[in-house]
Amino acid sequence: MQEGGILNREITRLLARMGHMDELIVCDAGFPIPDGVDTVDLALSENRPRVTEVLGVLKPHFSVEKLVVADETRSHSPSMLSQIQAVLGTTMTLETIPHEALKSRSRDVKAIIRTGDFTAYTNVLLVSGAGDRWHVEKA
Whichever domain contains 29, its CATH number is 3.40.1650.10
- Under a CB-based contact definition with an 8 Å cutoff, are residues 127 and 23 in contact? yes
Give the pLDDT score at 100: 98
Residue 18 has pLDDT above 90, yes or no: yes
State the total domains in the chain: 1
Instruction: Flag whether 138 is in a domain.
Output: no
Domain that holds residue 42: 20-128
Instruction: Flag whether 6 is in a domain.
Output: no
Q: For 50, list phi and psi in degrees, rounded to 5.
A: -85, 155
Per-residue HEC secondary structure of 45-62 comes to ECCECCHHHHHHHHHHHC
Residue 138 has pLDDT above 90, yes or no: no
* 40: confidence class by pLDDT, cuts 50, 70, 90: very high
* 2: confidence class by pLDDT, cuts 50, 70, 90: confident
Instruction: Flag whether 2 is in a domain.
Output: no
Give the pLDDT score at 57: 97
Partners of 67 in beta bridges = 94, 126
If DSSP codes are grouped into helix, strand and coil, which group holds residue 16? helix
Give the pLDDT score at 92: 86
Who has greater pLDDT, 4 or 72? Answer: 72
Stretch 34-52: mean pLDDT: 98
Residue 132 has pLDDT above 80, yes or no: no
Instruction: Flag whether 102 is in a domain.
Output: yes
Tens-digit pLDDT profile for residues 90-121: 888 999 999 999 999 999 999 999 999 999 99
Among 20, 61, 76, 135, the one annotated catalytic: 20
- Under a CB-based contact definition with an 8 Å cutoff, are residues 116 and 43 in contact? yes
Give the pLDDT score at 136: 78
CA distance 111 to 87: 20
pTM here? Answer: 0.94
Residue 124 has pLDDT above 80, yes or no: yes
Give the pLDDT score at 98: 98
- 20 part of the active site: yes
Instruction: Flag whether 84 is in a domain.
Output: yes
